[in-house]
Amino acid sequence: MRRTPALRRLAAETRVHPAELILPVFVREGLTEPRPIAAMPGVVQHTLDSVREVASAAAAAGLGGIMLFGVPAVRDAAGSAADDPEGILNRALTAVRAEAGDALVAQADLCLDEFTDHGHCGVLDGDGGVDNDATLARYEAIAVAQARAGAAVLGLSGMMDGQVAAVRGALDRAGHADTAILAYSAKYASAFYGPFREAVDSQLSGNRRGYQQDPANRREGVRESALDVAEGADIVMVKPASNYLDVLAEVAAASPVPTWAYQVSGEAAMIEAAATNGWIDRRGAIEESVVSIRRAGAEAVLTYFALELAGWLR
C-alpha cells in the first residue's frame, strides 16, 4: 500500500484541506505599504488596504479563516486601543468582513499584549504583577468591541483565569450571543514565540511564566481545556503545536468541542531558516509539519503557511 503515489494517497489516514487552515495576519497602524518582518520570512505587517487583499486571497483559496492581530501606533498601560472602535484591529475586522463577507471566518486575537506599553497580556497591579480580575473587565470590553466590528470568532489568548466565562457573559449581555469563543486553553510559556514579538513590536520585558503554562506539564493542559469548555468555550486551542503534540492528542481526545492548534512563529521560522541553508526540503517540511499537527488531533491549524499550503493542496 506504499508502492505508488496513488496507493499512498488511497491509504492515507490523515488529510489536510484548505478549509482546515487559518491564516494569522498582522495589521499595523500608520503604514502606507506592507512592512516585511525580518524574523518571519514571507510574512508582513499589513496596511488596511493590503489586509483587504489578503482576505480576498484567503477566501479565494478556500481557507477556513483569518486571525487578525493589531499593532497600534500608541500604547498605554490599559491597552486602550484594543477596545477603541477606531483602533487598528477593530478597523481591520470591519475591512475584512466588508471584503470577504461570509466566505471567510473573521477572527480576532483578544488580548492586551499588543496594546500595552508594558507588553503583558493584562493590566498590572501596584507591584508590577498582572491583575487577573482587573484584566477580565478589559477583556469584556474588548470582546464587545470586536464583535461589533465584525469578528465571528474571538481568540482568547491571554491565559487569565475565568476569561472564557467573563467574555461569554459580556457578549451575551451585549446581544452577541452568536459570537464564538476560541479559548487558548493550553498555551505554554514557550521560547518559540520569539519572532512574533517582532511582528507585534512587543514592549515586553521579563516573561509571562506567571500566567502561561509550564512546558513541563501535560495534565495541566487537559485540565485547563476542560475548565474552558465548562465556562462556555466553543473551541479549545493548544499552542505551540509541534512541541506539544502529546498535549494536543490528549486534549483532542477529551474535548467535546473542536480542538485547534497554532503552528507558531518560531516553528515557521525554523523551517524557513533550515530550508534557506539547504538543510531540509521546504515544501516537504511544511506539509509534514501540518499533517502531523492534524494527525495528533487538531481539527484546524493556524499556520503562517496557510495560503501557500492551500495552493499546493488545490
If you average pLDDT over every residue of the chain, what do you get?
96
How much is the average pLDDT of 23-37? 96
Catalytic one of 237, 239, 263, 301: 239
Give CA–CA dist 225/229, Å, rounded: 6
Rg (CA), the chain: 19
Residue with cell 512587543: 202
* Whole-number pLDDT of residue 57: 98
Q: What is the DSSP string of 196-256?
A: HHHHTT----S--TTTSBPTT-SHHHHHHHHHHHHHT-SEEEEESSGGGHHHHHHHHHH-S
* Whole-number pLDDT of residue 203: 80
How much is the average pLDDT of 141-164? 97
pLDDT of residue 196 exceeding 90, the answer is no
Of 188, 177, 260, nearest to 221 (Cα)?
A: 188
CB 151 within 8 A of CB 108: yes
* Whole-number pLDDT of residue 197: 84
Give CA–CA dist 256/73, Å, rounded: 40
Could you tell me the CA-to-CA distances from 288 to 120, 193, 273 in Å, in that order?
A: 33, 21, 16
pLDDT of residue 12 exceeding 80, the answer is yes
pLDDT of residue 205 exceeding 80, the answer is no
- Pairing type for strands 35-36 and 44-46 reads antiparallel
Read off the C-alpha cell for 51: 489586509
119 confidence band (pLDDT: 50, 70, 90): confident
For 113-143, letters b (16+ CB in 10 Å) and e give: bbbbebbbbbbbeeeeebbbeebbebbbbbb
Percentage above 90 pLDDT, the chain: 90
Spell out the domains of the chain, with CATH numbers in brackets. 13-313 (3.20.20.70)
CB 181 within 8 A of CB 108: no
Of 191, 107, 205, nearest to 157 (Cα)?
A: 107
pLDDT of residue 206 exceeding 80, the answer is no
Give CA–CA dist 135/236, Å, rounded: 20
Catalytic one of 187, 251, 268, 303: 187
Percentage above 70 pLDDT, the chain: 100
CB 122 within 8 A of CB 132: yes
Distance of CA 112 to the CA centre of its chain: 14
* Whole-number pLDDT of residue 188: 96
Q: Which residue has the higher pLDDT, 144 or 129?
A: 144
Query: What's the one-letter identity of residue 139?
Result: Y
CB 71 within 8 A of CB 45: yes
pLDDT of residue 300 exceeding 90, the answer is yes
CB 45 within 8 A of CB 69: no
How much is the average pLDDT of 87-102? 97
Phi and psi for 235 in degrees, rounded to 5? Answer: -145, 145
208 confidence band (pLDDT: 50, 70, 90): confident
Of 313, 218, 217, 309, nearest to 263 (Cα)?
A: 309
Q: Active-site residue 239, yes or no? A: yes
Q: CA angle, corner 114, sides to 131 and 125, nearest 5?
A: 15
pLDDT in tens, 236-258: 999 999 999 999 999 999 999 99
Q: Active-site residue 173, yes or no? A: no
pLDDT of residue 199 exceeding 90, the answer is no
